[in-house]
């Protein structure tokens, strides 16, 4: 999702109970942009299904894979529940491609 004015990437930002899409360039929220992921995913348990196979574009972090012990993993965030809850961090092992969720 991009800002209509400056084309910057929008980031989710909490505003009261809602999460709005926020442009850090314009310092404005985009009211008409819906948080798509929270609409699609209604159950806690389907979190894994929203993970697309585009992790090559994701950031890499230092995390130990529970499967093979490799210490580098891709990570990204997915809004899996109601929009007033924080996003879940997903990790995917760079080496064996194992995926897991990071719980606080
Ligand atoms: Zn903007
Ligand atoms: Zn692994």
* pLDDT score for 13: 87
Query: In b/e form, how buried is each residue of 52-62, taking b as 16+ CB within 10 angstroms?
Result: eeebeeeeeee
Q: Which ligand does the CA of 1 lie closest to?
A: 1
**CATH number for the domain formed by residue range(s) 36-102:** 2.20.25.10
Ligand 2 center to residue 40 CA distance, Å?
29
* pLDDT score for 40: 47
DSSP 43: S
Ligand 1 center to residue 67 CA distance, Å?
41
Active site residue 85: yes
Q: What is the pLDDT of residues 36-71, one digit of tens each?
A: 444 444 445 545 555 555 545 679 999 999 999 999
> How far apart are alpha carbons 52 and 38 in whole angstroms?
15
* pLDDT score for 68: 98
> How far apart are alpha carbons 16 and 3 in whole angstroms?
21
Catalytic residue among 49, 67, 71, 84: 84
């Amino acid at each position: 999702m991009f800002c209509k004015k400056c084309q910057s990437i929008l980031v989710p930002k909490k505003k009261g109970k809602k999460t709005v899409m926020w442009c850090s360039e314009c310092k404005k929220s985009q009211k008409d942009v819906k948080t798509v992921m929270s609409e699609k995913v209604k159950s806690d348990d389907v979190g894994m299904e929203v993970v697309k196979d585009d992790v090559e574009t994701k950031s890499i972090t230092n995390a130990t894979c529970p499967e093979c012990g490799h210490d580098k993993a891709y990570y990204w965030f997915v809004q899996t529940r109601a929009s007033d809850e924080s996003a879940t961090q997903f990790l995917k092992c760079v080496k064996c491609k194992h995926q897991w969720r990071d719980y606080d």
